Structure 1
Amino acid sequence: MDWLVIAGTALTVVGLGLLGYCIFSAVQVKRSDLDDETMRANLQKIVAVNMGALFLSVLGLMIVVVGVMLG
């Protein structure tokens, strides 16, 4: 079941990379001089990506645990 551990690790790394992207994007939006409506719209898009990234990370970690338990 090594392939499950490798696939889960890859999925987790992708999720963590997306989380880093969300942090970087949110800091950029906060530092920019945008009006309240535009900033809120941009941050809502980032929150959607953030939720997807968290889902990928959790799914990857679950796959790793299953692979370790089966292997």
Structure 2
Amino acid sequence: MTLFQLLIWIGAAVTLAGVVGLLATGVSANKLRNSGLPDDEMRRRLQSAVHRNMAALFVAVIGLMMVIIGIALG
């Protein structure tokens, strides 16, 4: 296995981790929405969910960039 193939597989794993994070954030936000909390508490928790969502999206994008670089250089 060459270095570029390894980069592709590692990038795919990182992307998968980001997608799992996005799905987990969506599920937790849906549960939060149906919880019936007061508006202030709901807003505070949803802002935290937005931060987790952006972090998971960043991880997925980094993984996709690793895959693209591995394909382009391989």
Q: Work out whether the TM-score is over 0.5.
A: yes
Deviation at 1:46, TM superposition (A): 0.5
Is 2:54 aligned against 1:51?
Answer: yes
Query: Residue 17 of structure 2 aligns with which residue?
Result: 14
Query: Residue 3 of structure 1 aligns with which residue?
Result: 6
- CA RMSD of the aligned region, Å? 0.5
What percent of counterpart residues are identical?
A: 41
1:64 to 41, 64, 67: 67
Structure-1 separation of matches of 2:28 and 2:41: 14
1:36 to 36, 39, 46: 39
TM-score of the aligned structures, taking structure 2 as reference length: 0.94
Gaps of 5+ in 2: none
Q: Which amino acid aligns with 2:62?
A: L
Q: Which amino acid aligns with 1:13?
A: L
TM-score of the aligned structures, taking structure 1 as reference length: 0.98
Q: Which amino acid aligns with 1:69?
A: A
Deviation at 1:14, TM superposition (A): 0.2
Structure 1 moving runs of 4+ over 4 Å? none
